Structure 1
Amino acid sequence: MTLKIEGPQLDERSDRNPFADVRLEWRLTHGDKSWVVPGYFAGCDNAADSGCTGGQVWRAHFVPPYEGEYDWEVDFRSGRDMAIAPSPGQRLDGHGAAGGFTVSGQPADPIRARGLLQYTGENYYRYAGDDSVFFKFGPDAPENMLAYSDFDATPSFKGFRKNWQAHASDLKPDGESYLWGNDRRGTGLLGMFDYLADAGANSVSMLLWNAGGDDRNVFPHLMGVPAQQYEAMEPRAQWQDGLVQDRFDLSKLDQWQRALSYADKRGLHLHFKLQETENDSFMDGGALGRTRKLYLREMVARFGHFLALTWNLGEENVQHPGDVRHMAAYLEALDPYDHPLVLHSYPDQKQRYRALLGPDTALNGLSLQGRQDDISDLRFDVITWSNNAKLAGKPLVMAYDEPGRADGGAGVDPDYPQERLPSKREIVLDPDLFLRDGLWNALTAGANGVEAYYGYKTGCSDLDCQDHRTRARLWREGRVALDFFRDHVGDRVLEMTPSDHLTMARDDYVLAQPGEFYVIVPGEEEIVLATGGIEGEFSVRWFDRVQGGALQIGSLDQVKNHRRRTKIGQPPSGGSGKWIAVVERLDTGILVEAESFKSQRLNDVRSWCRSADCPAGWNREGAEDYIALVPDTRKSHDDKLVRGENFSGQPGKMAIVSYDVDFPSAGRWYLWVRVHALGSEDNGIHAGLNGEWPESGARVQYCEGRGRWHWDSRQRTRDQHCGVPGGLWLDVPSAGTHTVEFSMREDGFVFDAFYLTRSPYFPEPLKKANEAAIAAAKPKSKKGH
């Protein structure tokens, strides 16, 4: 949502500074929650297209995180340095304007539906909309991505300015409305975002200010001298004399915003590096002074509404720890959304992080860098600093954003033509080194992902590269890794730890919930689990880390462990030959009979009956005891739908039936229900926990198995009316007894039992029960689970 308000007529270079001397804040409330959103000077309101330098429009952007009612009010003031000063100043026209709005329903766009990326106090970031864990992979290069010829006032020091022409043909029709200027510029850069999103990457990194740095062509500030003169200046002089330090370029920033909005729309995570080691002392001598505050405020106001972003306080940062703390705290206070906030260091200076750990730090993550050719330092770094953060009192999210040496990192694909590279390729690296020992290593070490640095000897480097097809194999196989962790690990990663000691080989990478669930990246030797005497039966599955696809069975379907060391067999033949092993304790779930409910409520319109007490005509062969929701007045789609009578789209509003369930552990428990549906209007229900009705339990919906008893776990969505498989779960806050509840969605619903399990996979006993039900000619049995 965007607020636009008219203020005084000003220009970028007016005596009265529109960036410092006017403050717009959009204050919003939703129940007991509140947000203060900083606004910014937008000039004529179409600076990206017109190139205007002034006007009277100010803007602010807000992303509503919740459904429901919102109230808002405008705080609009003027005065000397009002943007960063606490003084009341002079109220401007529009100050005190107020209103409200209502947010209802989930966004149809799945990228917007997953919501804002936020820190939640855990060692992984989550999306607020769907609560999913964020795993990332994308380029860390070129760092000067925004040194782009289609942006206004962008110099070309050392010829590093880019045109991104290699990706111009990748632009999709949806991107054309994001182009700018009368000549519709931006095709190459927007096409690059399309390429990365389609190729498999989900993150992109960039510097927002590098005056005096390696590239020197990226900055949001107004230029104080012509571009040619700026390019000839010494590094510090570029900042001191070449730029107007407290004013920003309206048209350039509007163009940045247009381009980055498209990346945000494509679902790319935006890694914003606010400065680099060469210039982190330029603003206010490295301290949090007037210039730095204005810069940070402008960046948050312009870009803070993007769904998935990380604020990185600086690349290879060497500021004083106290200055870093002040900067982090100021940025945290400015950002309304708890976005990721991290710091990057030199590979040999990670001890600088120690002064920034602890419960009072504003940082919520670390951006790590390596220096070893074989990336052998990655695992130690991730594990060490994750543990250091926890011991200091605040878990931090680990990302490994520059694996490898400065001259190598992620190499160009070996088969990429030399003649298409911008410089000579002096080093050839096996992509599988980066994929196995970089990406898979990081993900199984406890990091949320990796960004690929382009070394200066690779032929397409951190400063001169303009074609991400140079690393096409990385994106293709990196997508497979991300899909694996999203689909087969998910939330369980929060309970898993790097546990390489649990296999006998020294070159295996192991991420495990010991005794329950293991993800193993094998080395050269056969996998032998060292389970420490944990007894039980375990399933063994294999995942092709190159080709992806479903989990497969190798030489052993299951292993039964009674010893300290257990061989898990060989992977399947065929495929790429590069496998991930997935070992899981066979299900020890919780089975609850539907008829064992302790109570029901809100049952004056519809109520639950046990099978023995149901009216005539409710017999369902194949189970002796079950419950049904009666009466049933909507048997087909042709029957009239009456909300509040035969249909309840909102969970927890009608016919609630409750069960006491003893949970052995806290965490995510996946829900399966055994249903007997006859048609399309008696196959939906809602599930909740302890009187709350989470989205993850809403709209239990089955289409398969009509006319027989059928186990399934499916959630109806806007796009999948028959339900997304495995889409149902309840997050249990602690071990012990909790109340699991079901409420009406459609009358006539009949179910026999429900099953709760820590595993997201289809439990074998339930799968076999379904197979038996299909094969049998409706046999009479006692329960048939």
Structure 2
Amino acid sequence: MLVLSHSFYKNCTLTIFTTLKKPLLALLIFTLFASCSKQANDGGAIKEYRQWHTITLNFEGPATSEMAAENPFLDYRLNVTFSRNGRDMVVPGYYAADGNTGDTGADSGKIWQVKFVADEEGDWNYSVSFRKGPSISINDAPEAGEPVAFDGTNGRFKVIATDKTGRDLRAHGRLQYNGLRYLQFAGSKQYFLKGGADSPENFLAYQDFDGTYSSDSTKTFIKSYPAHIGDWKTGDITWKGGKGKGIIGALNYLAEEKMNAVYFLTMNIGGDGKDVWPYVNHQNFERFDCSKLDQWEKVFTHADKLGLMLHFVTQETENELLLDNGDVGPQRKLYYRELIARFAHHLAITWNLGEENGPASFTPHGQNDAQRKAMASYFDHHDPYQNFTVVHTHAALKAREPIVDSLLGYKALDGLSIQIGNKKTVHRETLKLLNQSIKSGHTWVLFQDEIGPANAGAVPDDVDPVHDTLRQEVLWGNLMAGGAGVEWYFGYKYAHNDLNAEDWRTRKNLWRQTAHALAFFQQHLPFWEMSNLNDLTSSENAYCFGKKDEVYAIYLRQGDHTRINLEQNTGKFHVKWFDPLKGGPLKEGPQLLLEGSGWQDLPKLDDNQDWVVLLKRA
């Protein structure tokens, strides 16, 4: 492999894999050197990239390795400043061994990389800072250390429009928090509702990732996803001559079921699974496994193409004091910097500060309020893309409420990853939390990411094929309160649970009901303009979500009936019906129009099943 150094050629980056004989290779190198030098000096054609596509810049620096005495992760700092129209974005880089380590498995080399995604079309410039010094990578002072190697390199490139369509995130742009109840894509301007898998939490404990093993001597199981190998498709990414088909196929299946999110821990040392971490081993928190992380990156890149949000859960309740005793100290800063440098460019990210964060009866030693805020603040100040940031809550109200109350109004936290033990309280709790956040002046995005009890959660289809309670109380309970969607947790009592799940088909019926709900909201409702209006219905069991005098959606359970208060309305409403169990197009019922003011009877269908009544102004 030949990498042309930016320190000499400025605007030229070129990687060549070759088996050419030495004389011919020397001639080729000389020709390339002359060509790049001329182009840089003569202002030749500017390299073109596409908006929302990942741009990878390689830089040749000092030869080193993951375990070198001078730590390449800690004692070198690569920052690249990308500029356009007076706006600067400082993007951290990382040590990449030989630059292709996911395929080669190399743990040494002289390549540093930075990954960047441009959010605007037009001309961009970049300038490089590469400095060396003790622990400099976690030192924010620009002049810390001393400049080395390719420091001072600069270049330019042009960004043109994306060529992607459909689910591919590059067709929609970055998913952003804009101070509203829902995330929004910066490119397509579409609002996002989540449906996805919360289990297995150790999704990344996969046998085809380098350096992946269980640190628990009593546990040898590592995932292979055999049920999903057949879901891998010709042309999909692999590494090392065909590895990765199981995990790539698993993501394919999730996307085929029209889900758009996947949850995973990036570090569970001392936690439940004890089989996922970014380090060279589970005892060294200063050295990172370059090939493993490059293989993670391949999987995450495939997820982008499928339209899947990447839900990074950075720690568990059992290990939240593992790094710096819970502080944002040297170990935690290095961990977060590596996550940001390697993965923040992906277009739909949730940074989750930790599963079940904070003390509770079963985990009395946990992080405190100041430590939680310091973690959120670190991502707020160091992630150049300002990706969505949440914290995962405890299930019990007694443990959850004090922590949540202390975070209300804190600007660096964009929402909550909610865990609730009692399914029947999801709607009420979501509505309460949303109203509290609005009142605080900093509206949260609220995802229902784990449902209890812990031994059950979302049980397999062969145990409960219909999932009435999950559909009514959790899925529609969250959405009709103004929540932003769900991920499904698999309880430990059942097969394919939160630690050993390898087949997502075990919950096929649940994925489909989730997809039906998301499709209804996306296709038929201006949900970002709507709010909960339960007080306009006469039934305590009905959910009402609407925009007054324009559109109302009323969820009725199994033959339930209700009246709706149209207040001072003077117009007519079309009446349509939606089947939340089977989905499909809207249906016509016994009454096509509803008119009048005040309390009106909603028409009733005779069959004993759930229905959603949709009223739209004629």
Q: Same fold (TM over 0.5)?
A: yes
Shift of 1:533: 4.2
Aligned amino acid, residue 285 of structure 1: N
8 Å Cα contact 2:395-2:452 kept in structure 1: no
Deviations 1:595-642 (A, max 9, x none): xxxxxxxxxxxxxxxxxxxxxxxxxxxxxxxxxxxxxxxxxxxxxxxx
Q: Is the 8 A contact 1:147 1:160 kept in 2?
A: no
Q: Is residue 2:612 matched to residue 1:580?
A: yes
Residues 440-519 of structure 1: matches in 2 within 5 Å?
Answer: 440-489=476-525, 492-519=526-553
Identity %: 38
- Structure 2 distance, partners of 1:398, 1:254, is 31
The aligned counterpart of 1:355 is 406
SS at match of 1:354: helix
Counterpart of 2:238 (choices 176, 179, 196) is 179
1:306 lines up with 2:346 in the alignment:
yes
Q: 2:128 aligns with which of 62, 69, 74?
A: 74
**Structure 2 runs not aligned, ≥5 long:** 1-54, 359-366
For 1:385, which of 400, 413, 433 is the aligned residue? 433
* Pair 1:455–1:330, CA change in 2 (3 A): same
Partner of 2:200 in structure 1?
142
CA distance in 1, matches of 2:602, 2:573: 9
- Name the SS of the counterpart of 2:67 in structure 1: coil
Aligned mates of 1:275, 1:143 — CA distance in 2: 11
Q: Which residue of 2 aligns with 1:97?
A: 153
TM superposition shift of 1:221:
0.8
- Relative distance call for 1:458 and 1:533 in structure 2 (3 A) is farther
- Does residue 251 (structure 1) correspond to residue 251 (structure 2)? The answer is no
Is 1:400 the counterpart of 2:410? The answer is: no
CA distance in 1, matches of 2:528, 2:518: 16
Residue 11 of structure 2 aligns with which residue?
A: none
Q: CA deviation at 1:536?
A: 2.6
Residue of structure 2 in register with 1:410 after alignment: 458
TM-score with structure 1 length normalisation? 0.68
Q: Map Cα deviations across residues 524-570 of structure 1 (whole Å, 9 max, x no partner).
A: 422311233433321111122233333222111111123x2112313
Q: Deviations over 1:118-162 (max 9, x none)?
A: 111111101111111110111100101111111111113323421
Question: Which runs of at least 4 in structure 1 moved beyond 6 Å after TM superposition?
Answer: none
The answer for the alignment partner of 1:198 in structure 2 is 256
* 1:102, distance to aligned residue in structure 2 (A): 1.9
Name whichever of 345-354 and 51-60 sits farther off: 345-354
In structure 2, give the amino acid aligned to 1:565: W
**Could you say what secondary structure the match of 1:486 adopts?**
helix
Q: Which SS does the other structure have where 1:8 is aligned?
A: strand
The separation in 2 between residues aligned to 1:528 and 1:549, in whole angstroms, is 25
Q: Deviation of residue 430 (structure 1)?
A: 4.3
Equivalent residue, structure 2, for 1:219: 277
What is the CA deviation profile of residues 293-352 of structure 1, one whole-angstrom value per residue up to 9, with x for unaligned ones?
A: 000000111111111110000000011110111111111222111211000111222220
Q: Which deviates more, 123-132 or 329-338? A: 329-338
CA distance in 1, matches of 2:139, 2:192: 36
Query: Are 2:213 and 1:163 equivalent residues in the alignment?
Result: no
Q: 2:581 aligns with which of 526, 538, 546?
A: 546
What residue in structure 2 maps to residue 278 of structure 1?
318
Letter in structure 2 aligned against 1:170: D
Distance (whole Å) between structure 2 residues aligned to residue 556 and residue 338 of structure 1: 48
Deviations 1:274-308 (A, max 9, x none): 00100000100000000000000001111111111
Instruction: Determine the C-alpha separation between the residues in 2 that align with 1:376 and 1:578.
Output: 16
What are the equivalent positions in structure 2 for 1:606-685 lying under 5 Å apart? none
Alignment partners' CA distance in 2, 1:516 and 1:580: 16
How far the C-alpha of 1:107 sits from its partner, in A, is 2.5
1:264–1:307: 8 Å Cα contact kept in structure 2?
yes
**RMSD of aligned Cα (Å):** 1.6
Q: For 1:474 and 1:525, how far apart are their aligned partners in 2?
A: 22
Q: How far, CA to CA, are the matches of 1:486 and 1:43 in structure 2?
A: 44
8 Å CA contact retained: 2:578, 2:587? yes
Q: 1:758-769, aligned counterparts within 5 Å?
A: none
1:772 is matched with which residue? Answer: none
C-alpha contact 1:411 1:430 (8 A) present in aligned 2 = no
| Whole-Å separation in 1 of the counterparts to 2:424 and 2:235 | 42
CA-CA distance at 1:509 after TM superposition: 1.3
CA-CA distance at 1:50 after TM superposition:
1.3
Q: Shift of the alpha carbon at 1:32?
A: 3.6
Give the corresponding residue for 2:305.
Answer: 265
1:577 positional shift:
4.9
Check the 8 A contact 1:160/1:215 in 2, yes or no. no
How far the C-alpha of 1:458 sits from its partner, in A, is: 2.3
AA matched with 2:406:
A
Tell me the equivalent position of 2:112.
Answer: 58
**Structure 2 Cα separation of the partners of residues 78 and 541 of structure 1:** 66
Q: For 2:561 and 2:498, locate their aligned partners in 1 and report how far apart those are by CA, in whole Å.
A: 39
- Once residues 429 and 463 of structure 1 are traced to their aligned partners in structure 2, the CA distance between those partners, rounded to angstroms, is 22
What residue is the counterpart of 2:419 in the other structure? 369
Deviations 1:374-409 (A, max 9, x none): x11111211111111111111110001012310111
**1:321 equivalenced with 2:363 (yes/no):** no
The question of whether the paired residues in 2 share the 8 Å contact of 1:76 and 1:94 is answered with: yes
Aligned partner of 2:566 among 531, 552, 572: 531
Does the 8 A contact of 1:261 with 1:306 survive in 2?
A: yes
2:383 equivalent among 308, 332, 335: 335
State how far apart, in whole Å, the 1-side matches of 2:485 and 2:235 are.
29
Hey, what's the Cα distance between the residues in 2 that align with 1:556 and 1:109?
A: 39
1:428: Cα distance to partner?
A: 4.8
Number of residues paired by the alignment? 545
Read off the aligned partner of 1:474 and give its amino acid letter. Answer: L
8 Å Cα contact 2:544-2:554 kept in structure 1:
yes
Matched residue of 2:80: which SS?
Answer: strand
Q: What residue number does 1:590 align with? A: none
Deviations, residues 690-733 of structure 1 (Å, cap 9, x unaligned): xxxxxxxxxxxxxxxxxxxxxxxxxxxxxxxxxxxxxxxxxxxx
Q: Which moved more, 1:471-480 or 1:428-437?
A: 428-437
